[in-house]
Homo-oligomer: A and B are copies of this chain.
Amino acid sequence: MKIGIIGLGLMGGSMALALRNKGLATQLVGTDNNALHAAQALERGLVDQVVPLEDLMALVDVVVLATPVDVALPLAQTLLDQTQGHILLDMGSTKANLVSAIQNHPKRGRWVATHPMWGTENSGPLAAVQGAFQGKACVICDRENTAPDALTWVENLYQNLGMHLMYMKADEHDMHVAYISHISHITSFALANTVLGKEREEEAIFELASGGFESTVRLAKSDPNMWVPIFLQNKENLLDVLNEHISQLRKFKACLEKENKEYLQELIQHANGIRRILG
């Protein structure tokens, strides 16, 4: 199979490495609207060649869309317009807007809406990681709208990369990722801004920062070009979670103000229940 990848950053680049490592592509062709990223991807050998977007479809059997989700939205429709039986998939972190944008397209069946649940706070082709997807979950949304051959090929692809598949409606997916991914990024960004406000006064305090601090603010390094469109596309779900999170923080605030030791103990014991999930 000749495979094209649009967007050679963290996700697209890691997909390229995985496809090559597993011998799943006879040829890898990439495209990226950032000339530096395109050159870096070639130099790292992520893809065999880089071509302009308009030349890609003619050269490949499968197209993997790995751009930020705002770019993916119009591109998905263009790709469907041009497809001659390709298998088309995207790797975006929001799914409802995408499946809604393509739902009435006559070639809708060629599209597989996927979200491999892996990422880091880094971006660009140099951030791509070998073995990235191994052992993680991959969500496939609205599979009933995808042609059986395209669905089967993409299922096999992700299983070959060591992922276990989960199936959801796109709306359900977007609500879930608001809870277990998007809110974590918001809190990290906000926490970074909280402490960076203080940094102006006294730089030395950060010598004190140990593992706990790094852990909670690591995601604050993440790329705005990736995350702004995700947050805006998942706005409604994210606002629900954010409101709930602020109300949870206010409980801690009230406990401190009233020195309510018992309730503070209770809140923390409840939070300890996260061990059930994280192990």
Binding site for B on A (CB under 8 A): 117-121, 136-137, 139, 166, 176-177, 179-181, 183-199, 202, 204-222, 224, 227-228, 231-232, 235, 238-239, 241-246, 248-253, 255-257, 259, 261, 264-265, 267-275, 277-278
A242–B253 CB distance below 8 A: yes
The docked-state distance in angstroms from the alpha carbon of A209 to that of B259 is: 34
B191–A208 CB distance below 8 A: no
In the complex, how many angstroms separate the beta carbon of A261 from the nearest chain B beta carbon? 6
Q: List 15 A-B contacts (CB under 8 A).
A: A117-B208, A118-B210, A119-B212, A137-B207, A139-B208, A180-B195, A180-B208, A183-B195, A190-B249, A191-B245, A193-B267, A196-B277, A199-B277, A215-B219, A221-B278
Q: How many copies does the complex hold?
A: 2
- List the B side residues contacting A195 at CB < 8 Å: 179-180, 183, 274, 277
B245–A190 CB distance below 8 A: yes
The docked-state distance in angstroms from the alpha carbon of A133 to that of B229 is: 41
Answer whether A217 and B278 are a contact pair too, CB < 8 Å, given A180-B208, A195-B179.
Answer: yes
In the complex, how many angstroms separate the beta carbon of A150 from the nearest chain B beta carbon? 23
* A206 interface neighbour in B118, B246, B251, B277, Cβ under 8 Å: B277
* A228 interface neighbour in B117, B215, B253, B264, Cβ under 8 Å: B264
- List the B side residues contacting A214 at CB < 8 Å: 278
- List the B side residues contacting A248 at CB < 8 Å: 190-191, 193-194
* A191 interface neighbour in B183, B194, B243, Cβ under 8 Å: B183
A249–B256 CB distance below 8 A: no
- List the B side residues contacting A253 at CB < 8 Å: 239, 242-243, 246
In the complex, how many angstroms separate the beta carbon of A137 from the nearest chain B beta carbon? 5
* A119 interface neighbour in B186, B198, B211, B252, Cβ under 8 Å: B211
* A181 interface neighbour in B212, B249, B268, Cβ under 8 Å: B212
A191–B180 CB distance below 8 A: no
* A192 interface neighbour in B136, B256, B271, Cβ under 8 Å: B271
By beta carbon, the residue of chain B nearest A273 is B196
B232–A194 CB distance below 8 A: no
A224–B268 CB distance below 8 A: yes
* A213 interface neighbour in B184, B208, B275, Cβ under 8 Å: B184
